[in-house]
Amino acid sequence: MKKVGLFFGSFNPIHVGHLIIAEYMVEFTDMEQVWFVVSPRNPLKKKETLLNELQRIKMVRMAIEYDTRFKASNVEFDMPRPSYTIDTLVHLSEKYPKIEFSLILGEDNLATLHKWKNYEALLKHYKLYTYPRVYQDATPAALANHPSVILTEAPIVELSSTFIRQAIKDGKTIKHMVPPQVGEYIKEMGFYKK
């Protein structure tokens, strides 16, 4: 079976930190591909802080267009909202029965995993590949030692979409923080300036 890791996020915008994590996963784990699952607009977030999902998936596609190990996924765009990770995983597993899906998430998410919808099913049916985060609480021992949780040694990248949006708002360059074509698109569209 083909092994695919699902990397969920708003990708607002996608940046080199996301790409470094994805590259680590396909080079240093058994994953053959990483799919960037772009989360649709969260009705609780302010409109000006989150671009339309079509603009965000366009930036993801631009960032990965020459790398066949990566794929942009809009699967959650047509699913009931709010979207839950377990529902997306079940949907994809049914749609692609010859693919073994796993989840890519920051180690900090393990601390709140017990609050996720059907988290027991996640742990029972899927592997969770975690990457380290800078500011995190200790990973709960029960989950750190769970057979479905794989703690990776992916590089820690102290870069966030929030930082990039603020830098743009402040008139700073983001030249090496996002892929060149994404940077050009952001500039051309005037994103994040307000």
Task: Give the per-residue pLDDT at 136.
Answer: 58
Side chain identity at residue 155, one-letter code: P
Which pTM was predicted? Answer: 0.93
What would the pLDDT profile of 50-83 be if each residue is shown by its tens digit?
A: 899 999 999 999 999 999 999 999 999 999 888 8
Q: Read off the pLDDT band of 28 (50, 70, 90).
A: very high
Q: Is pLDDT above 60 for 155?
A: yes
Task: State yes or no: pLDDT of 102 exceeds 60.
Answer: yes
Please list, in sequence order, all residues whose beta carbon lies within 8 angstroms of the beta carbon of residue 112, skipping any fewer than 6 positions away.
Answer: none
Q: Is residue 67 part of a domain?
A: yes
Q: Is position 185 within any domain?
A: no
Cα–Cα distance, 17 to 149 (Å, whole number): 22
107 lies in some domain: yes
Domain assignment present for 98 = yes
Considering its fold, how many domains does the chain have in total? 1
**CB pairs under 8 A, 24+ apart, for 168-175?**
168/192, 168/193, 169/193, 169/194
Determine the angle formed by the axes of helices 16-28 and 53-64, rounding to 10 degrees: 50
Predicted local confidence at residue 110, as pLDDT: 85
List the one residue out of 122, 128, 14, 110 whose CA is nearest residue 70.
Answer: 14
Domain membership of residue 75 as a residue range: 2-158
151 occurs within a structural domain:
yes
Q: What is the pLDDT of residue 158?
A: 87
Distances (CA, A) of 112 to 5, 117, 147: 20, 11, 18
Nearest alpha-carbon partner for 56 in 129, 157, 156, 165: 165
Tens of pLDDT along 75-89? 999 998 888 999 999
What per-residue confidence (pLDDT) applies to 174?
A: 96
Q: Is residue 128 part of a domain?
A: yes
Establish if 166 belongs to a structural domain.
no
**Does some domain include residue 191?**
no
CATH for 36: 3.40.50.620
